[in-house]
Structure 1
Amino acid sequence: MDYHALSKLLKTISDPSRLEIIDLLSCGELCACDLLEHFQFSQPTLSHHMKSLENSNMIFMRKEGNKKMYRLNTKTFEQLGHQLQLIHHKNESCICNTMKSEVCEA
C-alpha cells in the first residue's frame, strides 16, 4: 500500500460517524435501517457515509430483498493496521533505507 492509498483510507475513517459505523459493523453484518437507529442523521446522510466506506473498500454491501446489508472488509483493516505498523518502526521497507540521513536511528 502506497502513501496515497493509506492517506485515502485514513481520510475516510477520520469522520467520527464513519468510525462509529465501523465499530457497529465490527459486531457483524447489519442492514442500513439497523445502523440508522444509532444516529441522529437522515437516511441520505447514512447513504453518503456508506458510499464513502464502500468506495474505500472498507465495507461490503449486498442486497437482501429491499434491504442493503453491510459488513466490514476485514482484509482492508488488516492491511491498514499492517501499514501503520510499518510506518512507525524501522524495517527493511523503511523509507530511511533509501535516504542518506540518520532519520530512523531513533
Structure 2
Amino acid sequence: MTVEMHGARWLLAFTDEAALARYARARGESNRPWRYRAVWGAAVLDAGVPAVAEAGLPCGVLVDAGDGERGLVLPPVVGIVPESVAVDRPDIDGGAPEAEPEHV
C-alpha cells in the first residue's frame, strides 16, 4: 500500500498486525478486511522501494503510520534507500557532488 505526499510515494509498512489495526482505525476503516504480506524490512527497502520508484516519483517508507510520534519516516535518501532511487544520489541535480578527479 502506498500514499502520495509532498512529491513522493510512500510505502506503508507496519511492524505487526496491531500497528496495521491502529492505522485502519485512524482512517475509520477498521470494519473492512486489510490484506497484507509479512516481509523483512530489508526487502521493503531493497526491492519494494525501487519497484514503486519505477513509476517516476521518489519513494520512501512510513513505518507504523497510524502511531503518530511513534511512527518512523524513512526518506528516499542515500543511506536509507538504494542509491539508484535516492533523491540525493550524486548523479542528479541537487545530489551530493562527485569527488574531484585526482591530478598527478
User: Is TM (by shorter chain) over 0.5?
Assistant: no
Greater strand share, structure number: 2
Please report the TM-score for the alignment, with normalisation by the length of structure 2. Answer: 0.29
Greater helix share, structure number: 1
